[in-house]
Amino acid sequence: MLDFKLAPQESDAHEKAGERIYDLIVIGGGPAGLTAAIYACRARLDTLVLAGALPGGQPANTDMVENYPGFPQGVTGADLAQLFQDQAERFGARIELDNVMSVDFSSRPFSVSTYGVTYKGRTVIVATGANPRRLGVPGEDKFYGRGVSACATCDGFFYQDRTVVVVGGGDSAIAEGLFLTKFAREVIVIHRRDELRATKIFQEQAFANPKMRFVWDTVVEEILGDETVTGVRVRNVKTGAESVIETDGVFIYVGMEPATEIFAGQLELNEQGYVIADRRQRTNIPGVFAAGDVQDPYYRQIVIAAGTGAVAAMEVEKFLAEQE
Amino acid sequence: MALLNPDIQNQVRELFADLAGPVQIKMFTQDFECSYCKETRQLAEEVAALSDLISIEVFDFVADKDKADELGIDKIPAIAIIGKEDYGVRFYGIPSGYEFASLLHAIKWAASGRTELSAAGIKFLQELDKPVHMQVFVTPTCPYCPTSVTLAHQMAIVSPMVRADMIEAQEFPHLSMRYQVMGVPRTVINDVAHLEGAAPEPMVLDKIREALAKS
């Protein structure tokens, strides 16, 4: 079936620096950021969302979402992302597909700079989310985008009737592994433990799928190949035994890293790099709030990201009222 | 049945309300329509119907070979987006899914001849003295891909030396094989340099420099 997606088109990237001060700048266009925008716009706050190159955040990159309430039949991640965006825009959010390169939280109004434009906001919600963690093994960089991927919906097609390896044992690894069985001849899940961490329903589906095979207690040490990926060198963590598993592609789902590089030195981060926020989503800087996966090392769920986005926006409203 | 539902039609119509000038869509298919040729033609016709400023001509790849040669069309389904001049903006394969946004962008930019590239980028591209051919491989389900496609198309619009093609990898498996496409977006420049992922403008410009140094 064909579908047609509209991305937000209007861009006013040439806005002069400092000309306009937004009530709220949301950095990030995933569930947390867009929910914050929905709440803020309904509170009649002048809101700018800097959504990065890919609006919708991680769900936009997910095949099916089956645990977001209100969608008993499930919803594709792309559709859900689009619905969040439509809802935010309906209430007047301005969404720019721009990456934030730097921020200055040292004085108010805060400055948020993209490539070439600096925006000013009386408050900021940091909702930059998290990015897939890489393995950090030889061959990974060389083959990234050419046999190594973190996006099964993008690249699954290229593995028709081939063998792929999925590294990881969480929800993403198993859900994306199941998606890959639509294309691949065999999907080999390599996991460092002897059981999966994924939700039970995913586990049941995975174990019942004849195309899925599991290699337990094993880590990938190197991605092998000359021009294209031919295999992975692996090590059993219990026996120490090394071996090579032949494969045409490697999909890596070994967790996420918070996208907090640009905030280092300004926002308090924990030792894993997550923004430290309290129950009211406040950071160490008054007027700067954080929501979603960027401040959540534990759950990383769409519904929770959306919830913290709503909290942050309500706190922004309160904060601005107190300033007046 | 229409490919575009009434809701999408309305949004696109609204988007086209401020088109800066006329745009021609030249669509190439053939008598016995290839896989997705029919849908691509229908899509092009439906999009063209959403603005008085957009005209469409449908050509037969075989019977209208002269026209195909003139526009450098070497495979179908193909769409050439032409504004005041032929900027070299092409779509091979159907721009569905996320790529529909790339098609709308291309029309908007071709209408005005203006883009959102940086001043430094535009200067570099306008001073090119050798041809640059950018082929951006995509799948319709790839949310990162329009970033690469729209960047390449903007580069084509600002520079007479640059041609930029979106290529839907699933419809042209021989090209995907030839260019070893195993992930998208993948941008191939002059057949000698390639770039994986949705890279920002400065990185793409560096790749063009690298390609020109090699060719």
Model pLDDT for residues B126-150, shown as the tens digit of each residue? 999 999 999 999 999 888 899 899 9
Of A11-20, A286-295, B74-83, which range is least confident? A11-20
d(CA B4, CA B8): 6
In a domain, A262, yes or no: yes
Shared domain check, A264 and A209: no
Same domain? A102 vs A174 = no
Nearest CA in chain B to A99: B200
Tell me, yes or no, whether A203 lies in a domain: yes
Same domain assignment for residues A127 and A25: yes
Q: What is the dihedral of CA A267, A273, A277, A281, to 10 degrees?
A: 90
pLDDT above 90 covers a percentage of chain A that reads 79
| Annotated catalytic residue within A155, A248, A293, A296 | A155
- Which one of A3, A53, A61 has the shortest CB-CB distance to B96? A3
Element (H, E) at A290: strand A288-290
State the count of interchain CB pairs (< 8 A) between A and B. Answer: 103
Per-chain mean pLDDT for chain A = 92
Q: What value does the mean pLDDT of chain B take?
A: 94
pLDDT of residue A116: 66
Chain A interface test: which of B182, B195, B196, B207 (most A C-beta within 10 Å): B182
pLDDT over 60 at A18, yes or no: no
Taking contacts as CB-CB distances below 8 angstroms, the residues of chain B near A79 are none
ipTM: 0.82
Question: Is A147 found in the same domain as A233?
Answer: yes
A285 and A230, same structural domain? Answer: no
Answer yes or no: is pLDDT of B204 > 60: yes
Selecting from B143, B146, B196 the residue whose C-beta is nearest the C-beta of A145 gives: B196
**Active-site residue identified among A104, A141, A154, A278:** A154
Residue A82, domain member (yes or no): yes
SS3 of residue A150 by DSSP: coil
Residue A7: per-residue pLDDT: 56
Give the closest-approach CA distance of B163 to chain A in angstroms: 23
Q: Which of B10, B13, B18, B98 to mutate to test the interface with A (most CBs of A within 10 A)?
A: B98
Give the per-residue pLDDT at B40. 96
CB–CB of A154 and B144 under 8 A? yes
> Which amino acid belongs to residue A12?
D
Residue A11 has pLDDT above 60, yes or no: no
Dump pLDDT digits (tens) for B14-58. Answer: 989 989 999 999 999 998 888 899 999 999 999 999 999 999 999
% of chain A with per-residue pLDDT over 70: 94
Q: Which two tokens stand for residue A195?
A: 């059981």
Same-domain check for residues A187 and A285 = no
CATH class of B22-214: alpha beta
- Residue A167 predicted with pLDDT over 50: yes
Q: Which residue on chain A is closest to B120 by alpha carbon?
A: A116
Q: What mean pLDDT comes out for the span A55-60?
A: 80
Query: Are B97 and A54 inside 8 Å of each other by CB?
Result: no
pLDDT at B100 over 80: yes
Residues A153 and A244 placed together within one structural domain of the fold: yes
Residue A242: which domain range?
Answer: 140-252
Q: By CA distance, what is A164's nearest residue in B?
A: B182
Q: From the CA of B66, how many Å to the nearest CA of chain A?
A: 31
Residue A55 sits in a domain whose CATH number is: 3.50.50.60
| Chain A residues bordering chain B (beta-carbon distance below 8 Å) | 2-7, 9, 11, 13, 53-54, 56, 60-61, 78, 99, 115-116, 144-149, 151, 153-155, 157-158, 227-229, 249
In a domain, A15, yes or no: no
Band (pLDDT 50/70/90 cuts) for residue A58 is confident
Distance, in angstroms, between B124 CA and closest chain A CA? 17
**Closest C-alpha to A307, from A295, A291, A320, A294:** A291
Quick check: A155 and B182 CB within 8 A? yes
A158, pLDDT greater than 50: yes
Mean pLDDT over A2-22 rounds to 59
Any domain includes A6:
no
Burial of A265 (0-12, 13-18, 19+ CB in 10 A): exposed
Mean pLDDT over residues A202-210, rounded? Answer: 97
Q: Is the pLDDT of residue A17 over 50?
A: no
| B3–A2 CB contact, under 8 Å | yes
Residues A238 and A144 grouped into a single domain = yes
Q: Model confidence at A41, in pLDDT bands (50, 70, 90)?
A: very high
Q: Where are the beta strands (DSSP E) in B64-112?
A: 78-82, 89-92
Average pLDDT (A270-289) is 97
Residues A242 and A312 in one domain: no
Q: How high is the pLDDT of residue A6?
A: 66
Residue A13: pLDDT above 50? no
For tokens 């709440």, what's the residue? A39
Partner-chain contact A115 B201, CB within 8 Å = yes
Same domain flag for A119 and A267: yes
Nearest CA in chain B to A144: B196
In the predicted structure, residue B188 carries a pLDDT above the cut 70 = yes
Whether omega before A31 lies within 30 degrees of 0, making that bond cis, reads no
Let me know whether A50 and A121 are in one domain.
yes
Total domain count for chain A? 2
**Cβ contacts (< 8 Å) between A115 and chain B: which residues?**
118, 200-201
Q: In chain B, what residues touch A57 (CB-CB under 8 Å)?
A: none
Known catalytic residue at A154:
yes
For residue B77, is the peptide bond before it cis, meaning its omega torsion is within 30 degrees of 0?
A: yes
What is the per-residue pLDDT for A115?
A: 67
Angle between helices B99-112 and B145-158 (to 10 degrees): 20
In a domain, A7, yes or no: no
Q: Are A257 and A134 in contact (CB under 8 A)?
A: no
> Quick one: which H or E segment has residue A111?
strand A110-114
